[in-house]
Amino acid sequence: MQLETSRCYAQIDLDALAENRRLLRAGIPEGCRLMYILKADGYGHGAVAVAKALERDARADWIGVACLSEALELRRAGITREVLILGYTPPEFAAELAENNITQALISPAYVARLSQVAQEKGVTVPCHMAVDTGMSRIGYLYGTGDPAQELEAIAGAYRMPGLRVTGIFTHFSSGYSQEREDVEFTQMQYDRFAAVCQGLAGMGIDPGLRHCCNSPATVNCPQYAMDMCRVGTVLYGLLPDTAMVTQRPFIPVMTWKARVAMVKEVQPGAYVSYNRTYQVQGQPVRLAVITAGDADGYFKLLSGGLGRVKIRGHVCQVVGRVCMDMMMVDVTAYPDIRAEDEVILLGGQGEDRVPCEWLFRPLSPLGPSAITCSVRGRVPRLYSPVND
């Protein structure tokens, strides 16, 4: 047994990543690009390792991150693909953006004015993509809520700002995961607004650049909206944002999160289990397995009291009592074959050993699958399998 696998660890299957990438490419129009979203350390999978694996694809196009520090981490690791920051960067870092060829989202007129000013002061030109708010009410220039001509002119003005080079434009769908009629209509409305902006810019003699509006769920459910590029995050890692997603593509979970059984003990009726005495053994003795993972590893304490489930030797075992900082207890009374040092599947896996992500995020609604893998702490080693594509 190696030290890295002796307690709690995450296996990252880069072959599964490659297969998910292939499935995504197969579902979008030929010539459409993919932007791989690597924010939050690649959704907890390790941004640099994932980026290096994806760079082996000669057709890999763009990488998306949330902030400048994430982009710089990739550049320092030798990643050369185009990188877009999908969130806010203080304009004072205009030079860092330009010098590292990092593309910045343009999030508002005031932001654009300040970024342009700093870029001119520093004598640099910052590559940018225009963000358009078509219904998410998050970042971006508003379109569809006021006078269309005025809103379009404001967007066009950003393309003319000195010190900025706008090479693309994007919006973000709020409900692409849903097939409910109202959600489908809302996604269509967002697309129509975005398409109107792109057409309006072209009519003004402005090349909008790379157009992208599909996130992971929309890439799967609404490939007709693909335009020039699709941004893929959760699905790239085999995490389906919603079980209602219409897909026949067998995406594979990339992360398998494991721990071990530290010991097995029999607890008599009347005994309490874990903190705050929230669980008391009743009637018959209970056989407990102490697991080498806790909330300091990223296993949510909210999964205490029977909400959490793991698999040991293919058996489903429920969490008993409160999840502790470094350990938790599960009921193995029905499974006499479970013993100390057995492997425990907390998340992922294949076949009868698979623990679906829904087991962890459904009891914690409104959390989604990305919250689970992003929660796996840094002290949990990531072990990478080779890519065989």
* Residue range(s) occupied by CATH 2.40.37.10 in the chain: 255-384
Was 181 annotated as part of a binding site? no
Residues 206 and 155: beta-carbon distance below 8 Å = no
Query: pLDDT: is 61 or 144 the higher one?
Result: 144
Confidence grade of residue 283 (pLDDT, cut at 50, 70, 90): very high
Among 9, 39, 111, 299, which one carries the catalytic annotation?
Answer: 39
Of 166-175, 253-262, 357-366, where does mean pLDDT reach its minimum? 357-366
68-89 per-position pLDDT tens digit: 999 999 999 999 999 999 999 9
Was 229 annotated as part of a binding site? no
Report the pLDDT value the prediction gives residue 242, as an integer from 0 to 100: 62
Among 9, 111, 258, 275, which one carries the catalytic annotation?
Answer: 275
Q: Which CATH class is domain 31-236?
A: alpha beta
Report the pLDDT value the prediction gives residue 244, as an integer from 0 to 100: 54
* Residue range(s) occupied by CATH 3.20.20.10 in the chain: 31-236
Report the pLDDT value the prediction gives residue 245, as an integer from 0 to 100: 59
Report the pLDDT value the prediction gives residue 353, as an integer from 0 to 100: 86
Question: Given 3.10.450.50, 3.60.15.10, 2.40.37.10, 2.30.30.170, which CATH number is that of 255-384?
Answer: 2.40.37.10
12-70 per-position pLDDT tens digit: 999 999 999 999 999 999 999 999 999 999 999 999 999 999 988 767 689 999 999 99
Report the pLDDT value the prediction gives residue 67, as an integer from 0 to 100: 99
Question: Could you confirm whether 39 is annotated as catalytic?
Answer: yes
Question: Could you confirm whether 122 is annotated as catalytic?
Answer: no
